[in-house]
Structure 1
Amino acid sequence: MARISIFPLPGAVLYPGLQLPLHIFEPRYRAMVSDALARDRRIGMIQPQRPEEGAPLFEIGCLGRIGDVEALEDGRFNIVLEGEQRFRIVRELDVTTPFRQVEAELLEEDEDEVLAPVERASFEREARRFADAQGYAVDWDEVIRLDDVSLINGVSQIAPFDPAAKQALLEAPGLSARCELLVQLMQFFGRASNGDEDGATLQ
């Protein structure tokens, strides 16, 4: 078990091996970053179930280590959080700190998992279609060179999906399941943005 100081932020997810730049301006989260820098530099990114103060948290988040830090004169921080490991909340702790803390189980990841060639091809095909429909400029030569984990987790982290969809991707049990869900989400959101009524409800 691990005791983790958490940063509940709707729409923001972090994956092991990836980075998330954050601007820290609220006093309680400035205190959290200062505390983390004085200890092990680690904080947990997790989404609240509702965008309101004290809202219940989703069960799965990702522990990150503060890498680059820019401390501004007025007490704010610009930081880059480096994803280390997903975690599952066991319970929220009763604390006196201005930021929330949880007791959590760290989840083991299969770092050697790869996609089947047909899965990779299906994903790249759907990603091209989605990017074209959304008007995104993508360097596909760079994309093709990415390994499976960097590709699937990277797109999952930056894709313009709603918080519930991003959470489902984070919770997916393995790379193949996340890839399959990502393809479904790109199809769904692609239809919805084109005004297709079939895209109105995500099942």
Structure 2
Amino acid sequence: MASNVVYHKIEELPGVVPLFPLRAALLLPRGEMPLNVFEPRYLSMIEDAIRGHRIIGLIQPDPETAEDDERPELVKIGCAGRLTAFGETGDGRYLITLTGVARFRIVEELSVVTPYRQARVAFDDYVADLAPGEGQDDVDREALLKTLKDYLEANSLEADWDGIRRAPNEALVNALAMMSPFGPREKQALLEAADLKARAEILVAVTEMDLARAKGDASSSLQ
């Protein structure tokens, strides 16, 4: 979903953002995440974002926090997304799309009267996130595609290979990372990768470990 606003400098981003904690969710710069919003506190957050700067901070609860914790501890690094699509369902839910802008680090969570959490954040460490395609020439595309092919074959899955071959490295790496079926720790590692090359390497390594584990489990079950 294309955004009507392009951010060129981190100073254009808000210093305080609403926080949307989602376990095992990964949003990356220029990636698109559709969300079905139904909790009252987050419905309120969406309405306030529409009236304001339309930026929402997607972030994971700390993996050590229980899933049913109402106010979980949060990891320190998340990704700011711009609300680029919004729809009402007629039964009280909102269907939205967040388009990733840049990663951030939580400086301080604020004491607020809103039903949703807010934090003062810093984007300083992630200036490169604002530059489309930054570092994509360093990605080992061949290794990435080989691992993807192995994963699809192992899981009897199909893919649009014409579309994959046409995709630029940034779009390919980030889309595969966001769609990957891995858990919170792996998703956070992908988010915090130093650059696109490192993210692709982590994605390949985690996928290969998953394939090796599945192969080992299959061998054990046959013995």
Which whole-Å deviations, capped at 9, do the CAs of 1:44-103 have from their partners, x for residues lacking one?
A: 110001222211111111111111111233432011111111111111111111100011
2:136 to 114, 117, 122: 114
Contact 1:30 1:76 in 2 (8 A): yes
The list of structure 1 runs, each at least 4 consecutive aligned residues, that deviate by more than 4 angstroms after superposition, is none
Which whole-Å deviations, capped at 9, do the CAs of 1:104-135 have from their partners, x for residues lacking one?
A: 11121253312447x11111111110111122
Show structure 1 runs of 5+ residues with no match.
198-203
1:181 to 202, 206, 209: 202
Instruction: Name the counterpart of 2:31.
Output: 18
Instruction: Name the counterpart of 2:6.
Output: none
Whole-Å separation in 2 of the counterparts to 1:6 and 1:48: 11
Instruction: Name the counterpart of 2:101.
Output: 84
TM-superposed CA distance for 1:196, in Å, is 4.3
Q: Does 1:143 align with 2:164?
A: yes
Contact 1:16 1:85 in 2 (8 A): yes
Whole-Å separation in 2 of the counterparts to 1:80 and 1:116: 29
Q: Does 1:160 align with 2:177?
A: no
TM-score, structure 1 normalization: 0.91
Report SS of the residue matched to 2:128: coil
Q: Letter of the 2:209 partner, please give it.
A: F
Q: Letter of the 2:163 partner, please give it.
A: E
1:29 to 42, 45, 63: 42
Deviates more, 1:148-157 or 1:130-139: 130-139
Show structure 2 runs of 5+ residues with no match.
1-13, 219-223
2:51 to 30, 38, 41: 38
2:82 to 53, 62, 65: 65
**CA-atom RMSD in angstroms:** 1.6
Report SS of the residue matched to 1:83: strand
Q: Does 1:172 align with 2:185?
A: no
Deviates more, 1:80-89 or 1:64-73: 64-73
Whole-Å separation in 2 of the counterparts to 1:75 and 1:4: 24
Q: Does 1:5 align with 2:24?
A: no
Give the length in aligned residue pairs.
196
Instruction: Name the counterpart of 1:97.
Output: 114
Q: Letter of the 1:152 partner, please give it.
A: V
Q: Letter of the 1:180 partner, please give it.
A: E
Deviates more, 1:124-133 or 1:69-78: 69-78
Whole-Å separation in 2 of the counterparts to 1:55 and 1:195: 35
1:190 to 187, 190, 211: 211
Q: Letter of the 1:182 partner, please give it.
A: L
Q: Letter of the 2:95 partner, please give it.
A: N
Q: Does 1:56 align with 2:106?
A: no
Whole-Å separation in 1 of the counterparts to 2:167 and 2:105: 28
| Paired-residue identity, % | 38
Q: Letter of the 1:39 partner, please give it.
A: G
Instruction: Name the counterpart of 1:124.
Output: 145
Instruction: Name the counterpart of 2:8.
Output: none
Whole-Å separation in 1 of the counterparts to 2:210 and 2:111: 39
Report SS of the residue matched to 1:193: helix
